[in-house]
Structure 1
Amino acid sequence: METAVLSQNEPRSSLLPMAIIGMLFFIFGFVTWLNGSLIPFLKVLCDLNEFQALFVTFAFYIAYTVMALPMSYILRKTGYRDGMAIGLAIMGVAALVFIPAAQTGSYPIFLLALFGLGAGLTILQTASNPYVVKVGPPESAATRIAIMGIINKGAGVLAPIVFTALVLSGLVDFNTESISRLGEVERVARLEEVSGRLVMPYVYMAVLLFLLVALVKFSGLPDIEEEESKDSETKSGILQFPQVVLGALALFTYVGVEVIAGDTIGLYGERLGLANYASLTSYTMVFMVIGYLIGVVGIPRYISQQQALLGSAVAGSLCVIGVLSGSSESTAIASVLWGWSGIPVVPDTVTFVALMGLAHALCWPAIWPLALEGLGRFTAQGSALLIMGIAGGAIVPLVFGKVAHFADNTQVGYWVALPCYLFILFYALKGHRMRSWS
């Protein structure tokens, strides 16, 4: 399958593809950031510790590594439109697997369903990200990806709110401490009742995904020609492009810290005894949307893609220092930032976790165009390699969970994010410029 590159003298032709891709980015965001609510929920439901609970992210994100190359092969054989339809169908089937998982309360079946969702998303991501990069001028690629990011993270804001409304509505004190105080019979009955609330939301999700299969299949999404480059003419394999190999590592570290910021904030809130722990992912997502808006306005008018990545790495490092050194009792920062709005405030350390979303929002839209530059006929392979970097969302949070569990202190786990931001800093300063390993 040829890599998607739209002719810049055909602006009308890009409108429908971008609308379709925007719709898919919404699906990416909703399904992905639902994990932030599922993690503390399943921790209570299945009686897990922090390390065990973060296998939610492992099962979901490891699918990107396991399935990236097979899915890129499928994409080459089927084309973008049919490949995206296959990805949506896989996700629809995976959503249905949540039904027996909820009925039995089986954590392994939940993990199987999450792996299936990740597998379906792999083919969608492999197709859509290079498509957005190539749909217009290369210097504004980060802006286009930032627009997609706003859609993606906007869905991430909605997902925890919808989950809380559909699953946790009316529940009082559904947390580890309150469940542990119940007698055995009462505890089992309570867990069965709460687990059953998951069934209908995932039925709705499956129906929606199968409807989208039909929409994408008959959308008329075009397959378009690939561009060549001088670099690609002299290279024999994707591993000869340092900018994309290091870019995949940068995405590995970025996705790792993105998942930590979005998916562990609920765990941290539950550990601190916050009543709204299941919806805390929305705080991180709101800040990420703000970061993407900054990217849309600022790139390339005021800052370059490389400068945006550099700023993200520095700001992210400062946020980690804030999490580690801040107060878990004071709510002063949140009171200043949004206390006036009526939105519940959170402790300063939790606020810094949420602010990590703002700090690193522009990493994804900046890394993709920097890494794909000059790949030519290797762009499809480069995209698959970058997608494999999403495995950072599987590995890095598990390291976080192990550190937090070993220290019996979730706050200490955030040390794991610091070396990740430092590698992103290296890629922004030097890694993206490398065109040979010598």
Structure 2
Amino acid sequence: MATPNTAVSVSSLSRRDTTVSIVIIAGMFFIFGFLSWINAILIPYFKIACELTHFQSYLVAFAFYIAYFVMSVPSSYLLKAVGFKKGMMLGFFALSLGAFIFVPAAMTRTYGVFLLGLFTIGVGLAILQTAANPYITILGPKERAAQRISIMGICNKFAGILAPLLFAAAVLRPTDQALFDSLASMSDSARSAALDELIARVIIPYSIVGAALLLIGIGVRYSPLPEINTEEESAEVSASNLGKTTIFQFPHLILGAVAIFIHVGAQVISIDTIINYAGSMGVSLIEAKVFPSYTLGTAIVGYFLGISVIPRWISQKNMLRLVTLMGAVLSLLIVFARGEVNLFGHQTDISIWFVVLLGIPNSLTWAGIWPLAIDGLGRFTKVGASLLIMGLCGNAILPVVYGYFADSVGLREAYWVLLPCYLYLIYYAMWGHKLRTW
């Protein structure tokens, strides 16, 4: 069984070993997506069941993603100590524990305990993402890294499409909208009993998920996934890194971590806020639950586009420049475009469909940033990757910022927070990734 001391070089892997590894990591990205994007429906669900403000409801994303900030660097040292496979197993065990915490949280309808469960799930994902992202980035030719990441993204977003729909099927009833509409007129005791019954519906699904994650962790530990040596450096990289003692001597990495922070925050805003935004247009939760799937569907379109044209027709760098510019344009359209449309059977303002279309630029931004940010890190790759994963705490911060403005100035106007995000991403795509010295 492979250990950190028996790690192999990427170049020594056979084509079959590489394919098997990609398939296993793709399965992990499916799980990442399922557990991450289910937040899109947990936010409005908890908002109703726990009687929250917009700001309070977006603490779902905060508790979930702040774990990346707390655990990313410790994760890199954990992986150095025990290797990829044992580290991944421990990550799945943390996911399982987080899912099981939902059971006492639902029994007591205590929002703080739900947030603890979400934080614990985030800890597990921080460990797994710190392992999986550099793994898939270096598992093949550098110029095709965006292609491999796009394949992972398809798995991630396809799971994201399924997650809110399966959750809604498991816990929501066709008659629930009438219940939601009548809550305000109920007595305190009747409303409390109704909400207790509503929140208790998560107990069985999350118990099943917790048990499944426990078994998957054991399976990954004994899978044929090889340990990869991320410490090896080519002569060129070794020469360029001579005398460097810390990751803070790599400006393109630090700026890339900021880009990840901003990108993921903007992405989660486009998915986790869209149900509430649809609600502001008079769309019921029962109908609005499909909108995150629309956004994730356009993201899958973007991934297929990336697989088709990168690097054959357009380079990773130029695609990153194109999609960040597209994100800025769509952000302006969300705020300024107005007019009623009927699309896919939904009567809404046209602006919500520009939120949906953000899935396309968001899908290819991550795939563009990662290869540029870890380029030339050599022996600093694991720690550098942990810094990039730490950037995922942008998912914790920016939705709360959006929630604050949604409460104070309105849901549409709060989307102004997206514009400076995409402007910075344009900067990194054009110039920031080129910096090799401060």
Alignment TM-score, normalising by the size of structure 2: 0.94
Secondary structure of 1:303's counterpart equals coil
Change (3 A) 1:99 1:9: closer
Residue aligning to 1:265:
274
Residue aligning to 1:162:
166
Change (3 A) 1:355 1:237: same
Of the three residues 298, 308, 312, the one matched with 2:319 is 308
| Distance across 1 between alignment mates of 2:240 and 2:46 | 48
Residue aligning to 2:42:
38
The answer to whether the aligner puts 1:355 opposite 2:357 as a matched pair is: yes
Residue aligning to 1:289:
300
Letter in 2 for 1:13: D
Residue aligning to 1:101:
105
| Distance across 2 between alignment mates of 1:434 and 1:322 | 32
Secondary structure of 2:225's counterpart equals coil
Secondary structure of 2:314's counterpart equals coil
Residue aligning to 1:218:
222
Residue aligning to 1:370:
372
Residue aligning to 1:53:
57
Q: Give the conservation status (yes or no) of the 8 Å contact 2:281–2:349.
A: no
Residue aligning to 2:73:
69
Letter in 2 for 1:319: L
Residue aligning to 1:392:
394
Deviation (angstroms), 1:224: 2.3
Change (3 A) 1:9 1:68: closer
| Distance across 1 between alignment mates of 2:261 and 2:47 | 25
Residue aligning to 1:255:
264
Q: Give the conservation status (yes or no) of the 8 Å contact 2:260–2:366.
A: yes
Change (3 A) 1:171 1:70: farther
Letter in 2 for 1:427: Y
Alignment TM-score, normalising by the size of structure 1: 0.94
Deviation (angstroms), 1:232: 2.4
Letter in 1 for 2:42: L
The answer to whether the aligner puts 1:129 opposite 2:139 as a matched pair is: no
Deviation (angstroms), 1:176: 6.0
Q: Give the conservation status (yes or no) of the 8 Å contact 1:231–1:375.
A: no
Deviation (angstroms), 1:271: 2.8
Letter in 2 for 1:74: L
Q: Give the conservation status (yes or no) of the 8 Å contact 1:153–1:285.
A: yes
Change (3 A) 1:285 1:346: farther
Deviation (angstroms), 1:379: 0.5
Change (3 A) 1:178 1:317: farther
Secondary structure of 2:280's counterpart equals helix
Which shows bigger deviation, 363-372 or 267-276?
267-276
> What is the root-mean-square deviation in Å for CA atoms of aligned residues?
1.7
Deviations 1:209-228 (A, max 9, x none): 01101210110321122331
Deviation (angstroms), 1:326: 2.1
Secondary structure of 1:300's counterpart equals coil
| Distance across 2 between alignment mates of 1:222 and 1:128 | 12
Q: How many residues align?
A: 427
Q: Give the conservation status (yes or no) of the 8 Å contact 2:340–2:347.
A: no
Within 5 A, what are the aligned runs for 1:174-193?
177-193=181-197
Deviation (angstroms), 1:313: 1.0
Secondary structure of 1:211's counterpart equals helix
Letter in 2 for 1:310: R
Residue aligning to 1:410:
411
Residue aligning to 2:340:
330
Residue identity over aligned pairs, in percent, reads 41
Change (3 A) 1:235 1:110: same
| Distance across 2 between alignment mates of 1:120 and 1:363 | 24
Residue aligning to 1:87:
91
Change (3 A) 1:174 1:297: farther
Of the three residues 207, 221, 240, the one matched with 1:231 is 240
| Distance across 1 between alignment mates of 2:214 and 2:13 | 35
Residue aligning to 1:274:
283
Residue aligning to 1:318:
329
Deviation (angstroms), 1:406: 1.2
Which shows bigger deviation, 381-390 or 358-367?
358-367
Letter in 2 for 1:356: L
Secondary structure of 1:79's counterpart equals helix
Deviation (angstroms), 1:110: 0.7
| Distance across 2 between alignment mates of 1:299 and 1:134 | 17
Deviation (angstroms), 1:359: 2.2
For structure 1, list consecutive stretches of 5 or more residues without a partner in the other structure: none
| Distance across 2 between alignment mates of 1:295 and 1:8 | 28
Change (3 A) 1:4 1:355: farther
Secondary structure of 1:221's counterpart equals coil
Deviation (angstroms), 1:349: 1.5
| Distance across 2 between alignment mates of 1:4 and 1:166 | 44
Secondary structure of 2:363's counterpart equals coil
Q: Give the conservation status (yes or no) of the 8 Å contact 1:5–1:131.
A: no
Letter in 2 for 1:25: F
| Distance across 2 between alignment mates of 1:156 and 1:410 | 23
Secondary structure of 2:313's counterpart equals coil
Deviation (angstroms), 1:177: 4.9
| Distance across 2 between alignment mates of 1:5 and 1:357 | 35
Change (3 A) 1:176 1:323: farther
